[in-house]
Amino acid sequence: MAAGFIDISSLIFSYVGATIILYGGAVTVIRTLKQEVRTPASINNHDIRRYFTNKIVFGLDFLVASDILRTIVAPGQQEILFLGMTVGIRIAMGYFLSKEASESS
């Protein structure tokens, strides 16, 4: 029963993370198009980029949590190694995206 709950929780975290990233992408596209139409000559995308970067980092946090929950259910050596690589990549992406966002402000 606990494994089923963890599987469902992991799936929910995956969907939430993906939804946050997709939502951020959609809002970013809309904001960019609006800005292009209003002032095509003088575009400053720093605020739009920072918004999208924050959404990606937030979504990645949920995806990492999902991976951790999945590994709790099946803690084999291969799953733990895969989790380590996945979490490492996602944390590195989050770090560099956050760093880029803070430098552009």
pTM: 0.78
Q: For 14-59, how does the pLDDT look when each residue is reduced to its tens digit (9 = 90+)?
A: 999 999 999 999 999 999 888 888 776 666 777 888 889 889 889 9
Q: Cα(39)–Cα(95) distance, rounded to whole angstroms?
A: 32
Note whether 1 and 56 are within 8 A (CB).
no
The residues, any chain, with a CB within 8 Å of residue 23's CB and separated by 6 or more, are 55
